């Protein structure tokens, strides 16, 4: 029995060391540059391998040495601080800030770019006001660029007498910086909110990037939509005052929204159970239908088919003041 416990402990310790080795090597590879990054990652990997071997050979100094090395790496990791002060790409150069007086909200740094191509665009930053008493509901856009598993999520709030107000959670990249989903695990990028006109944020994906954009009208009541919008406003302002790291797994365009909605969901007609589709965002429509957040009386395949708006959107000018109204034509309402 004691032998079995020893082997079990050794296996557990080995798993911990190898997991720490993989994480630490990735951190060094993505946070350092050039040859130094490669050599440091290889060196740390070899140290971790030696530590794992030491667990089984009784050479205690090897796993202890690796533990000291790993603690030093953790200290470096904990010392990394996100910043708002970097040389950002133009479309993420400004973060929105939102003020409220009574039932009126004012959105500063609202983005309303006009995209000719992804690299050719007219920059527009605006200040707009919205009346919370005139909110009608909320809609969700999913934009697919590579297969069905992953999509980018946008949440859009509709108003009786105003064009929709749309939010996107983005990787805030610096000029010359490329996106890597693996690098997103290692405090490489800051997070950004974009508050935008749909002609900008949807048009970028439908017109400039030629992505497959799908629209789903949510079943939220005006009161529920208002609650979610207020949760957005609070978090938008928190981020504007205190920078935050983006994380590919835990702080991304779906998980942040999931937590925002979850913070105001108690008492709603639907709950927010955990589900792998929160991470595999391309499959989110099935999850939304499961919880009753979209129409349940329409088969999912048909709901998806009717929600495909890219071709219709591309027939419209991004200067069309009725762009938002027209892309919703034929898309099922959130409630029967």
Tens place of pLDDT for every residue, the chain, 336 residues? 588 888 888 899 999 999 999 999 999 999 999 999 999 999 999 999 999 999 999 888 999 999 999 999 999 999 999 999 999 999 999 999 999 999 999 999 999 999 999 999 999 999 999 999 999 999 999 999 988 888 999 999 999 989 999 999 999 999 999 999 899 999 999 999 999 999 999 999 999 999 999 999 998 899 999 999 999 999 999 999 999 999 887 877 777 776 666 655 554 444 555 666 667 788 888 888 888 888 999 999 999 999 999 999 999 999 999 999 999 999 999 888
259 and 188 housed in the same domain: yes
For every residue of 247-269, DSSP letters joined together read: BTTTBSTTHHHHHHHHHH-TTSS
Residues 32, 95: one domain?
no
Answer yes or no: is 333 within a domain.
no
Report yes or no on 84 lying in a domain: no
Does 32 fall in a domain? yes
- Residue after which a domain boundary falls, among 38, 54, 79: 79
Task: Tell me: do 29 and 97 sit in the same domain.
Answer: no
Dihedral angle over CA of 250, 289, 133, 266, nearest 10: -60
Which of 79, 99, 132 is the last residue in one of the domains? 79
Asked if 260 and 303 sit in the same domain, the reply is yes
In a domain, 335, yes or no: no
How far out from the chain centre does Cα 232 lie? 13
- Domain residue limits at 138: 90-327
Closest CA to 130 of 172, 156, 159, 90: 159
Pair (116, 9) in one structural domain = no
pLDDT at 213: 97
Q: Are 158 and 139 in contact (CB under 8 A)?
A: yes
Structure letter (DSSP) for residue 333: P
Give me the pLDDT at residue 274, please: 61
Residue 241, helix vs strand vs coil: helix
Over the Cα atoms of the chain, what is R_g?
23
| Residue 212: strand, helix, or coil | strand
Residues 36 and 182 placed together within one structural domain of the fold: no
Domain check: are 138 and 207 in the same one?
yes
CA 260 to chain centre: 12
β-pair type (212-217, 165-172): unpaired
Tokens standing for 334?
């959130």
- Smallest Cα–Cα separation from 70: which of 28, 128, 117? 28
Buried b (16+ CB within 10 A) or exposed e, 298-318: eeeeebbebbbbbebbeebeb
- The pLDDT score that the predictor gives to residue 278 is 66
Is 187 a member of any domain? yes
Residues 126 and 15 in one domain: no
Task: Mark out the alpha helices in the chain (DSSP H runs).
Answer: 2-31, 34-57, 61-79, 198-203, 222-241, 255-264, 284-290, 300-307, 310-314, 323-327
Of the residues 79, 112, 140, which one is the last residue of a structural domain?
79
Query: What does the alpha-carbon distance between residue 329 and residue 235 come to, in Å, rounded to a whole number?
Result: 32
Q: How many domains does the chain have?
A: 2
23 and 160, same domain (yes or no): no
Tell me, yes or no, whether 309 and 166 share the same domain.
yes
Let me know if residue 311 belongs to a domain.
Answer: yes
For residue 253, the model assigns a pLDDT of: 72
Is residue 334 a part of any domain in this protein? no
Nearest Cα to 167, choosing from 196, 199, 192? 196
Contact by Cβ (8 Å): 185, 247? yes
- Whether 135 and 24 map to the same domain: the answer is no
User: Is 332 inside any structural domain?
Assistant: no
Do 225 and 167 share a structural domain?
yes
């Amino acid at each position: 029995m004691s032998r079995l416990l020893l082997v079990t402990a050794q296996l557990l310790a080995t798993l911990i060391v190898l997991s720490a080795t993989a994480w630490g090597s990735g951190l060094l590879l993505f946070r350092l540059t050039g040859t130094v990054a490669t050599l440091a990652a290889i060196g740390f990997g070899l140290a971790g391998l030696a530590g794992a071997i030491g667990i089984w050979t009784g050479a205690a100094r090897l796993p202890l040495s690796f533990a000291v090395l790993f603690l030093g790496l953790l200290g470096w990791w904990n010392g990394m601080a996100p910043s708002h002060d970097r040389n950002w790409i133009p479309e993420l150069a400004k973060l929105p800030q939102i003020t409220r007086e009574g039932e009126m909200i004012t959105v500063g740094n609202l983005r309303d770019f006009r995209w000719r191509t992804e690299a050719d665009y007219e920059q527009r930053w605006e200040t707009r006001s919205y009346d919370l008493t005139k909110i009608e509901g909320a809609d969700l856009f999913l934009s697919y660029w590579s297969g069905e598993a992953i999509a980018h999520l946008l949440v859009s709030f509709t108003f009786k007498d105003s064009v929709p107000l749309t939010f996107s959670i983005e990787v805030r990249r610096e000029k010359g910086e490329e996106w890597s989903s693996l690098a997103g695990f290692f405090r490489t990028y800051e997070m950004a909110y974009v508050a935008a006109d749909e002609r900008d944020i949807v048009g970028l994906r439908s017109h400039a990037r030629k992505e497959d954009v799908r629209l789903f009208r949510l079943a939220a009541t005006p009161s529920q939509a208002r609650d979610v919008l207020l949760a957005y406003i609070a978090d938008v302002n928190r981020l504007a005052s205190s920078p935050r790291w983006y994380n590919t797994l835990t702080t991304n365009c779906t998980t942040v929204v999931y937590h925002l909605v979850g913070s105001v969901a108690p008492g709603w007609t639907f709950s927010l159970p955990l589900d792998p589709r929160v991470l595999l965002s391309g499959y989110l429509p099935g999850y939304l239908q499961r919880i009753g957040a979209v129409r349940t009386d329409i088969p999912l395949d048909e709901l998806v088919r009717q929600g495909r708006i890219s071709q219709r959107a591309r027939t419209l000018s991004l200067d069309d003041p009725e762009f938002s109204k027209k892309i919703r034509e034929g898309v099922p309402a959130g409630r029967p």
